[in-house]
Structure 1
Amino acid sequence: MLKFALALGALALTTPALAQVPDFPSSFKTQEIATNGANIHVRTGGQGPAVVLLHGYGETGDMWAPMAADLARDHTVVVPDLRGLGLSSKPASGFDKKTQAGDVAGVLDALKIERVDLVTHDIGNMVGFAFAAQHPQRVLSFILIDAPVPGVGPWEEILKNPLLWHFRFGGPDMERLVAGRERIYLDRFWNEFSATPSRFTEASREHYAKLYALPGAMHSGFAQFAAFDQDAIDNRAYLAAGGKLTMPVLAVGGATSFGAAMAATMHDAATDVTVGVIPDSGHWIMEENPTATVALVRAFLDKAR
């Protein structure tokens, strides 16, 4: 634990590296895995213990390219696009996080992977939590980054934050409003949730805006948020039944975003929680400070071995 604490302290001195959406290493392959009523676009590469990287809203699995390149040195890295987003299919339903946890299980079964470390961001946290709650024997450790989990901790108070107005924004009229204006809509989040918006580069913005302009993508994104009420019901039922995650958990917040509050919240749902903070970063950790983010994740995974 002392070694890990020293590693955390060293991260405060890390200078953020400017990042845009890079390609995954050429050694990675992509495939479409049909499972659970969806076709999931998956990137895989590397060798060793398996780690799954789950993205959130406003991005796709592409966000993890620098992390994947580093971890693939000694891990088998699995990077799906969530259902409805990126290059995964856009089914009409199944956006509650318990169903999407089934997507993750199906991907791992297809790849013949039994146990994994989980690294998740934003809505990926919610899918990862549902997977860890349903399949605790399959999760060796769990790293959640900068987003709350529905029904966990002060969820109702979090919903009152005016910056989170988009949690309740959706439906056909809203889809019509943003059709053809996906970049305008997403820019608001990339700007407001960043410590330094310029680090979310123009190349990255254009890349993701095109993916979110694909047919069905914005509808699917709104459906991810519309499922939060059901997600909260499911998670509260798990906690009320005496459920708590027992694998090592690292709860990470961007310094100007959730910060150490991530860990404070996760204490309500896990028994072994370590706090992590990404310095000089808001919500978009892989764009704003990828160097520190990769170092923090690697230090925790190495410690958990």
Structure 2
Amino acid sequence: MTTESPATSDRPLPAVEGVTHRFVTVRGVRFHVAEAGAGEPVLLLHGFPQHWYAWRAVIPELARDHRVFAVDLRGCGWSDAPRDGYQGTALIEDVLALLDALGLDRVRLVGHQSGGWLGFRLCLAAPDRFSAFLAVNSSHPWPRRRFGLPLYAWRYWYTALWEYPGVGRRVLRHCPAVTRSLLRYWAGRSARVDESALEEFVQAHRPSRRARAGEQLLWQFVLHDIPALARGRYRDRRLTVPTLLLLGDRDPVVRPEPLTGAQEFTEALTVRVVPGGHLLPEQAPGVVAAAAREHFGRP
């Protein structure tokens, strides 16, 4: 386990005022961590196909009274992209090892999209490491049964373009228009899109090893997480970390209807719907930061 200074990477790191960068090696993988602010620690987990820069407008807001850590997960952004280790349990072990390496015993947690799903699994696996959790544009492990997984899963049709072994990596690498179109689709037809940021996320997964990593991240979800949901594996698991789930009312992927009523399985979860699409950290960073600050301030 070593902590290192930033080194030359595939692409230059985008500049965000007040943010510094470091690389931490754990579990044989070098992870990139963006850091800002001072105070109680907050860990930010991005979704796919994004990386730490998806939090660029949220970090300065939270850094006013928190010490913020935005991690590039395995295979994403400026972290290493090894050939394996993309199953959910391995990602959980990555994050917990990073907390140890950073000297963080307990943190507040924020996760967007697939980073939100990882956040739920982290809170179930190691609840003592997280004092509160804000999930954004994410499903949770206890969707309402009457909606049925097949009736809801069609909204994730786009993952088929990225996940199938041998196909997904080629789409990510050689068909950047697909990634551009999907990011715009998530934001919404009438939403303004930061074109420079969009291009950053498109280019992030075009190198061959990163395209393969993106494919593997999604394929492991198909192989393990979806069957677990279908079998109701999480229905015996109780969430104890106080959690707020923030959903966009115009999100074309994660809809509120199947995600309300989870109190049958946990009283620690509150669902709130706000204006916006599937990219709330970029579309409504002030709303996300305010929700985090309010939620983290509760006893």
TM-score using structure 2 length: 0.83
Give the structure 2 partner of residue 291 of structure 1: 286
Say which of 17, 23, 40 aligns to 1:49: 40
Contact 2:144–2:258 (Cα < 8 Å) also in 1: no
Contact 1:190–1:197 (Cα < 8 Å) also in 2: no
Say which of 282, 293, 301 aligns to 2:296: 301
Give the structure 1 partner of residue 217 of structure 2: 224
Give the structure 2 partner of residue 253 of structure 1: 247
What letter matches 1:24 in structure 2? V
Give the structure 1 partner of residue 67 of structure 2: 76
Matched, 1:108 2:122: no
Contact 1:41–1:88 (Cα < 8 Å) also in 2: yes
Query: What's the % identity of the aligned pairs?
Result: 24
| 1:68-124 deviation digits (Å, cap 9, x = unpaired) | 111112111111011111111101111122211111111110111100111101110
Secondary structure of the structure 1 residue equivalent to 2:78: coil
What letter matches 2:213 in structure 1? S
| 1:118-148 deviation digits (Å, cap 9, x = unpaired) | 1101110122122111111111111111122
| 1:35-76 deviation digits (Å, cap 9, x = unpaired) | 123221111222221111100012111111221111112111
Q: Residues of 2 paired with 1:274 and 1:151: CA distance?
A: 13
Matched, 1:270 2:272: no
Contact 1:251–1:262 (Cα < 8 Å) also in 2: no
Q: Residues of 2 paired with 1:44 and 1:71: CA distance?
A: 11
Q: Residues of 2 paired with 1:237 and 1:33: CA distance?
A: 36
Instruction: Map residues 110-259 of structure 1 onto 2, 5 A cutoff.
Output: 110-149=101-140, 153=144, 156-157=149-150, 160-167=153-160, 169-182=163-176, 184-196=177-189, 198-228=191-221, 229-232=223-226, 239=234, 242-257=236-251, 258=254
Count of aligned positions: 280
Give the structure 2 partner of residue 10 of structure 1: none
Secondary structure of the structure 1 residue equivalent to 2:260: helix
What letter matches 1:255 in structure 2? D
Secondary structure of the structure 2 residue equivalent to 1:179: helix
Which one is further off, 259-268 or 59-68?
259-268
Give the structure 1 partner of residue 3 of structure 2: none
Q: Residues of 2 paired with 1:190 and 1:127: CA distance?
A: 20
**Alpha-carbon distance change, 157 to 150 in structure 1, aligned in 2, over 3 angstroms:** farther
5+ unaligned residues in a row in structure 1: which ranges?
A: 1-20
Instruction: Map residues 32-47 of structure 1 onto 2, 5 A cutoff.
Output: 32-47=23-38
**Alpha-carbon distance change, 61 to 102 in structure 1, aligned in 2, over 3 angstroms:** same
Secondary structure of the structure 2 residue equivalent to 1:205: helix
What letter matches 1:111 in structure 2? L
**Alpha-carbon distance change, 131 to 163 in structure 1, aligned in 2, over 3 angstroms:** closer
Contact 2:180–2:199 (Cα < 8 Å) also in 1: no
Contact 1:146–1:252 (Cα < 8 Å) also in 2: yes
Say which structure, 1 or 2, has more relative contact order (CA 8 Å, 6+ apart): 1
Contact 1:151–1:231 (Cα < 8 Å) also in 2: no
TM-score using structure 1 length: 0.82
Contact 1:101–1:131 (Cα < 8 Å) also in 2: yes
5+ unaligned residues in a row in structure 2: which ranges?
A: 1-12
What letter matches 2:132 in structure 1? S
Contact 2:168–2:215 (Cα < 8 Å) also in 1: no
Q: Residues of 1 paired with 2:153 and 2:237: CA distance?
A: 26
**Alpha-carbon distance change, 199 to 266 in structure 1, aligned in 2, over 3 angstroms:** farther
Q: Residues of 2 paired with 1:269 and 1:57: CA distance?
A: 27
